[in-house]
A and B are shown apart, each in its own frame.
Chain A
Amino acid sequence: MSGSPLVNQLIEALRCLPGVGPKSAQRMAYHLLERERVAAENLSAVLAKAVNEVGHCELCRSLTERKVCDICESSNRDRTLLCIVESPSDVQVIEQSTDYKGLFFVLMGHLSPLDGIGPEDIGLDLLASRLDQGEVKEVVLATNFTIEGEATAHYISEMVNSRNIIASRIAHGVPVGGELEYVNSTTLSRAFSGRQNF
């Protein structure tokens, strides 16, 4: 540890980042202070600005510094399609790797009864009023394939079906490039029960 209290404070602060332990925090701090002063100043300014200004989109709850995010505002997206995901990073990967052209709704988590996380905590009251507006014709459930994600998808599907809207779930099965021998048994049995005409 360095003799400077401020440097130590910086190292300690950097440890809030995921995957950063004491050693890498120290490397980052020294790197910023010794070699990248300009970049460090830029980082601190942007970080402060982002923390102050970025909030949640009023429509999809994803992160944005405006009232409504770019995707929700865009005029060339299919407004009858609504995709439900657990986190803003899920929106990013879907945007980058698929040609999905509908809108999103971000739960910021999943239902977890044993942790006391219920429907309101993941914004399902907001989703309910969104569905009641009648614009959405199909809801695509893209929550994670964990037990909690499945329970969340099921709960939302009941909300959706009770309003006579179509609910669909993204497919699951053997990954592209995957060899059957190495796929875990639950995935493989799901892949078989969900097989399609070819």
Chain B
Amino acid sequence: MSHQNHRVSLQAAFILHGRNFRDTSRLLDVFTQDYGRVTLVAKGARSARSRLQGILQSFSPLIISWSGKGEVQTLTGAESVKNSINLSGKQVMSGYYINELLQRLTTFHDPHPEIFTLYQNTLERFATDEDELVLRHFEKHLLTEIGYGLNLESDSEGGTAIDKNEKYYYDIEKGPVKVRNNNAEGEIIISGQTLLDMADEKFSCAQSQKEAKQLMRIILSHHLGDKPLKTRSLHWYKPL
């Protein structure tokens, strides 16, 4: 970003993560519609008189303004948009997961309006659709938008269409490869049905849902590198 003072007003945004900063401020990692991720400081947001207290929460659609120069700029205004999204407890955990994916797979000041729309739709879909389905949809489209789109239509060796009755393994560089005599040693084997289901964004059976999750996990960890996702390393889903 340039070092001249600049001012942005009334930008649609979501807060991905915030932490306390100095005595009464918050430092926010914000995902905006037209400017990508930006780091903003919300001065005085934690003081008792601040109007921002109830507004600056994750998963809540906001309209924000900011100004300043350099890496960390100053939030100058924020209001919540009507029809706020209400996530239930378990969905909040899923929400944190997609927030962490965005933090890890996108960089600051890199505009991604399509991913913004995807993110917003994903949060809204939590209200109506099954969580796992929503997460797989988000992961698949996020990968496509950042240039790592999946091949789910054809065998990467030979180019034939995926057969739902065959077994495949997924080569991260190339795509699905049909399993024949021991060429898939050490790979996760998935059925053709799973690949077709992922392309259609539905799950025909529990097995396909499980395989899709495993496959996504492997592909994502390839792109995420050595550092594991924090939201995955904690035991969220089995309470003590």
A19, A116, A153, A184: the one contacting B23 at CB < 8 Å is A19
* A113-B100, A113-B231, A114-B100 known; A186-B239 Cβ under 8 A: no
Closest to B234 in A: A118
Q: Assess the A115–B19 pair: CB atoms within 8 A.
A: yes
Note all chain A residues with C-beta closer than 8 A to B84.
185-186, 189
Q: Assess the B235–A184 pair: CB atoms within 8 A.
A: no
Q: Shortest Cβ distance from B127 into chain A, in angstroms?
A: 14
Note all chain B residues with C-beta closer than 8 A to A26.
none
Q: Assess the A147–B88 pair: CB atoms within 8 A.
A: no
Q: Assess the A116–B230 pair: CB atoms within 8 A.
A: yes
Q: Answer whether residue B3 sits at the interface, using C-beta atoms and an 8 A cutoff.
A: no
Q: Assess the B96–A157 pair: CB atoms within 8 A.
A: no
Q: Assess the A116–B239 pair: CB atoms within 8 A.
A: no
A127–B60 alpha-carbon span in the complex (Å): 31
Q: Answer whether residue B217 sits at the interface, using C-beta atoms and an 8 A cutoff.
A: no
Q: Shortest Cβ distance from A141 into chain B, in angstroms?
A: 11
A124–B92 alpha-carbon span in the complex (Å): 19
A158–B89 alpha-carbon span in the complex (Å): 10
B interface residue count range (under 10 / 10 to 19 / 20 to 34 / 35 or more): 20 to 34
Question: A1-37 toward B: CB 8 Å interface, digit per residue (1/0)?
Answer: 0000000000000000011000000000000000000
Q: Assess the A186–B99 pair: CB atoms within 8 A.
A: no
Q: Assess the B239–A155 pair: CB atoms within 8 A.
A: yes
Q: Answer whether residue A150 sits at the interface, using C-beta atoms and an 8 A cutoff.
A: yes
Interface residues of B in 1-24 (CB under 8 A from A): 16-17, 19, 23
Q: Assess the A147–B54 pair: CB atoms within 8 A.
A: no
Q: Assess the A155–B89 pair: CB atoms within 8 A.
A: yes
Question: B82-106 toward A: CB 8 Å interface, digit per residue (1/0)?
Answer: 1010001110110011011001000
Question: A109-123 toward B: CB 8 Å interface, digit per residue (1/0)?
Answer: 000011110110000
Q: Answer whether residue B59 sits at the interface, using C-beta atoms and an 8 A cutoff.
A: yes
Q: Assess the A184–B80 pair: CB atoms within 8 A.
A: yes
Interface residues of A in 140-198 (CB under 8 A from B): 145-147, 150-151, 153-159, 162, 184-187, 189
B80, B234, B235: the one contacting A186 at CB < 8 Å is B80
Question: B118-150 toward A: CB 8 Å interface, digit per residue (1/0)?
Answer: 000000000000000000000000000000000
Q: Answer whether residue A128 sits at the interface, using C-beta atoms and an 8 A cutoff.
A: yes
Q: Assess the A151–B103 pair: CB atoms within 8 A.
A: no
Note all chain A residues with C-beta closer than 8 A to B57.
146-147, 186
Q: Answer whether residue A73 sits at the interface, using C-beta atoms and an 8 A cutoff.
A: no
Q: Assess the B230–A114 pair: CB atoms within 8 A.
A: yes
A156–B90 alpha-carbon span in the complex (Å): 12
Q: Answer whether residue A125 sits at the interface, using C-beta atoms and an 8 A cutoff.
A: yes
Interface residues of B in 219-237 (CB under 8 A from A): 230-231, 233-236
A187–B84 alpha-carbon span in the complex (Å): 11
Q: Assess the A147–B233 pair: CB atoms within 8 A.
A: no
Closest to A193 in B: B86
| Residue of B60, B235, B240 contacting most chain A CB atoms (<10 Å) | B240
What are 16 of the A-B contact pairs (CB < 8 Å)? A113-B236, A114-B17, A114-B99, A114-B103, A116-B233, A125-B240, A127-B240, A147-B58, A147-B59, A151-B93, A153-B89, A154-B92, A184-B55, A185-B82, A186-B60, A186-B84
Q: A113-B236, A147-B92, A153-B89 are in contact. List 4 more A-B contacts (CB 8 A).
A: A113-B230, A115-B230, A162-B239, A186-B57
Chain A residues close to B by CB (< 8 Å): 18-19, 113-116, 118-119, 124-125, 127-128, 145-147, 150-151, 153-159, 162, 184-187, 189
